[in-house]
A and B are shown apart, each in its own frame.
Chain A
Amino acid sequence: MNEQEFICIICPSSCTLKAYTKSDGTIKVDGALCPRGIEYAKQEITDPRRIVISVVKVKNGNLPTVSIKTSKPVPKKCITAIMKATASIELEAPVEIGQVIIKDICGSDIVATRRIKKFVNKSI
């Protein structure tokens, strides 16, 4: 039996989780205050995933960048690919929250998380 320790990152309670993987592949998790912690530990062992965040350039906006995120957690090994794909993009203002920037990359969409208005020589 393989024993691993994790700190849950789902919420600020930061539960210390102990996961026991049996030879048949089943996983038992101790120490979680809620079911999301058990799910997290299992996911960490089989296929660790994260939400990826960054900013991309915007032309003619009230701010020069718009913040973005993956619409759902993506496999950790995809992070570099996503950063590379978003680095070369330049959008045109306005941008709305939730607007899809890249469709279907690593099983997720890249969406905008900040509202960028067209720059009209005065603030919002």
Chain B
Amino acid sequence: MIELDYDTIVIGAGPAGLASAIKAKELGLKTVLVENKDILGGIPLQCIHPGFGLQYFKEDLTGTEFIYRLFDKMEKIGVEYLLKAHVYSVELVAHNEKVVNVITPKGIMRLRSKTIVYTVGAREKSIFEINIIGDRPGAGIYTAGEAQTLMDLYGILPGKEIVIVGSGDVGLIMARRFALEGAKVKSVIELMPYPGGTMRNIVQCLQDYSIPLYLSHKAIRIIGNERVEKVVVAKVDENLKPIEKCKFEIPCDTVILAAGLVPNVSILEKIGMIMDPCTGGPMVNEFLETNVPGIFVAGNALVVNDLVDYVVEQGEQAAEGAFYFVQNNGLPTINWKRVVRGRNIRLIVPHYISGERDIILYARVQKPEKNVLVTIPEIAWKMKLSNVRPAEMIRAKLSKTTLESARFEDKVTVEVNTQ
């Protein structure tokens, strides 16, 4: 058995993990980056569309170009990494000692570390989580991410007549890819009365290719034997229940599930970490430290982001947290203030703040609204926004001086109000 010691172990080499490992190394921590696949980069490697890095690199890059920028930075700094390394458990030994057990082609490794940055990303919701009944044909059902892997990494077109269930961004982007490659995208079915993805993707991925979007509709049944043959779709009422007389069939050979992402936290759940049911990820403080001292979480494993720029930002924050932890042998005990979800806030990260330093809040609304004020009444802070939509994350940077007046509060409330 190989045993090695580190200051920080970064698990998962997608954008959050790469950014975190680079930052940790820059700060002088003895760092190792552990990746399950045989290639670094994670999901952006298969994101061939533009829209990445507008904020971080101030340039419009494709996902692939974005991730190679990070590779180049990493190579220059010389971060140690392991490929084909499967993390099968995390052990908590002491306050400043964790063990990550890894299976690699070189054998089983026990990696000891003061801190862990967990950046394994999110997983896609499966067919079992979105209540589609009916047949389970031998072929023709894929998640949007699987279709993307097949088409944009391996060059394989998974079908010719496509129905996309769910209107998340990945689903919309794949609708365009299918249309470009000559497949017929019959429709995109969305349960909610508003799209799951961003408006710009509705325009450039659906409207550009005349792909119909059925809002307030549900795919209720898949029919097919060897391969998918058709999907039964129904309009839903305001309680999201299918209306029996508004039922129709769409013939197709492929169903793509784009029902959204959930943070992948399986390893963390095993060590009893506290999760937030709203984000599906762990509860964290402003260092992105979880309730287990010295374990930090960033990127889509923390909260599902819409921009890679935010993911990278969180990766760097977590690395800074790890640095602070290693320096001080643990984060100092602070009188944490709870961040409370107020009116029209569906989720918010971080969950606890100190009020002693600048912070970045990431939030999503429950329902779309126009001309709103995002406010924190306790500190008389407000931010004007012309539009808020569930698919578009709100990011707000609060300075230490703004937060000063919350010194004697035990909570701050974030709320969205119409003007």
Q: Are A83 and B48 in contact (CB under 8 A)?
A: no
Q: Are A7 and B199 in contact (CB under 8 A)?
A: yes
Q: Are A67 and B181 in contact (CB under 8 A)?
A: no
Q: Are B50 and A51 in contact (CB under 8 A)?
A: yes
Q: Are A114 and B180 in contact (CB under 8 A)?
A: no
A117 CB to closest chain B CB (Å) equals: 10
CB of B386 within 8 A of chain A?
yes
Residues in chain A near residue B180, CB distance under 8 A = 52-54, 79, 83
CB of B68 within 8 A of chain A?
yes
Chain B binder among A19-27, A57-65, A102-110: A57-65
**In the complex, which of the residues A7, A65, A83, A114 contacts B155, with contact meaning CB atoms closer than 8 Å?**
A65
Q: Are B154 and A53 in contact (CB under 8 A)?
A: no
Q: B residues bordering A, Cβ < 8 Å?
A: 38-40, 45, 48-51, 54, 62, 64-65, 68, 83-84, 151-155, 180-182, 198-200, 202-204, 208, 306-307, 386-387, 389, 392
- Would you list 19 pairs from A and B whose C-beta atoms are within 8 A, ordered by A residue? A8-B200, A11-B54, A12-B51, A12-B306, A12-B392, A13-B387, A50-B204, A52-B180, A55-B48, A55-B152, A55-B155, A63-B39, A63-B153, A64-B153, A68-B48, A113-B64, A113-B65, A115-B68, A123-B84
CB of A45 within 8 A of chain B?
no
A8 CB to closest chain B CB (Å) equals: 7
Q: How far is the CA of A76 from the CA of B203 in the complex (A)?
A: 13
Query: B39, B48, B182, B203 — which one has the most chain A CB atoms within 10 A of its CB?
Result: B48
Among residues of B, the one whose C-beta sits closest to the C-beta of A31 is B386
Q: A residues bordering B, Cβ < 8 Å?
A: 6-16, 33, 50-55, 57, 62-65, 67-69, 76, 79, 83, 97, 113-115, 123-124
B266 CB to closest chain A CB (Å) equals: 25
Q: Are B200 and A9 in contact (CB under 8 A)?
A: yes
**In the complex, which of the residues B39, B182, B200 contacts A14, with contact meaning CB atoms closer than 8 Å?**
B200
Q: How far is the CA of A115 from the CA of B40 in the complex (A)?
A: 12
Beyond A9-B203, A97-B68, whether A64 also contacts B155 by CB under 8 A is: yes
**In the complex, which of the residues A11, A50, A54, A69 contacts B208, with contact meaning CB atoms closer than 8 Å?**
A50
Residues in chain A near residue B154, CB distance under 8 A = 63-65
5 A-B pairs with least C-beta separation: A67-B48, A14-B199, A9-B200, A123-B38, A65-B155
Q: Are B48 and A7 in contact (CB under 8 A)?
A: no
Q: Are B203 and A53 in contact (CB under 8 A)?
A: no
Q: Are B181 and A53 in contact (CB under 8 A)?
A: no
Residues in chain A near residue B38, CB distance under 8 A = 123
Among residues of B, the one whose C-beta sits closest to the C-beta of A15 is B386
**In the complex, which of the residues B181, B204, B306 contacts A9, with contact meaning CB atoms closer than 8 Å?**
B204
Residues in chain A near residue B386, CB distance under 8 A = 15, 33
Residues in chain B near residue A83, CB distance under 8 A = 180-182
Q: How far is the CA of A115 from the CA of B386 in the complex (A)?
A: 40
Q: How far is the CA of A14 from the CA of B198 in the complex (A)?
A: 8
Further 18 A-B residue pairs, CB within 8 A, beyond A114-B68, A123-B39: A6-B203, A9-B200, A11-B200, A12-B306, A12-B307, A14-B200, A53-B48, A57-B155, A62-B39, A63-B153, A67-B62, A68-B48, A69-B48, A69-B62, A114-B48, A114-B64, A123-B38, A123-B83
Q: How far is the CA of A83 from the CA of B64 in the complex (A)?
A: 19
Q: How far is the CA of A10 from the CA of B60 in the complex (A)?
A: 10
Residues in chain A near residue B54, CB distance under 8 A = 11
Q: Are A124 and B40 in contact (CB under 8 A)?
A: yes
Among residues of A, the one whose C-beta sits closest to the C-beta of B47 is A67
Q: How far is the CA of A82 from the CA of B200 in the complex (A)?
A: 22
Query: A9, A15, A65, A115 — which one has the most chain B CB atoms within 10 A of its CB?
Result: A9
Residues in chain B near residue A11, CB distance under 8 A = 54, 200
**In the complex, which of the residues A14, A54, A65, A69 contacts B153, with contact meaning CB atoms closer than 8 Å?**
A65
Q: How far is the CA of A62 from the CA of B306 in the complex (A)?
A: 29
Q: Are B49 and A53 in contact (CB under 8 A)?
A: yes
Q: Are B203 and A7 in contact (CB under 8 A)?
A: yes
Q: Are A54 and B48 in contact (CB under 8 A)?
A: yes
Q: Are A53 and B62 in contact (CB under 8 A)?
A: yes
**In the complex, which of the residues B40, B45, B198, B389 contacts A114, with contact meaning CB atoms closer than 8 Å?**
B45
Residues in chain A near residue B208, CB distance under 8 A = 50, 76
**In the complex, which of the residues B48, B152, B200 contacts A12, with contact meaning CB atoms closer than 8 Å?**
B200
B141 CB to closest chain A CB (Å) equals: 23
Residues in chain A near residue B389, CB distance under 8 A = 14
Q: How far is the CA of A8 from the CA of B200 in the complex (A)?
A: 6
A63 CB to closest chain B CB (Å) equals: 6
Q: How far is the CA of A15 from the CA of B83 in the complex (A)?
A: 42
Beyond A9-B200, A67-B48, whether A55 also contacts B62 by CB under 8 A is: no
Q: How far is the CA of A40 from the CA of B62 in the complex (A)?
A: 20
Among residues of A, the one whose C-beta sits closest to the C-beta of B54 is A11
Q: How far is the CA of A52 from the CA of B62 in the complex (A)?
A: 11
Residues in chain B near residue A15, CB distance under 8 A = 386
Residues in chain B near residue A9, CB distance under 8 A = 200, 203-204
Residues in chain A near residue B200, CB distance under 8 A = 7-12, 14
Query: A52, A69, A113 — which one has the most chain B CB atoms within 10 A of its CB?
Result: A113
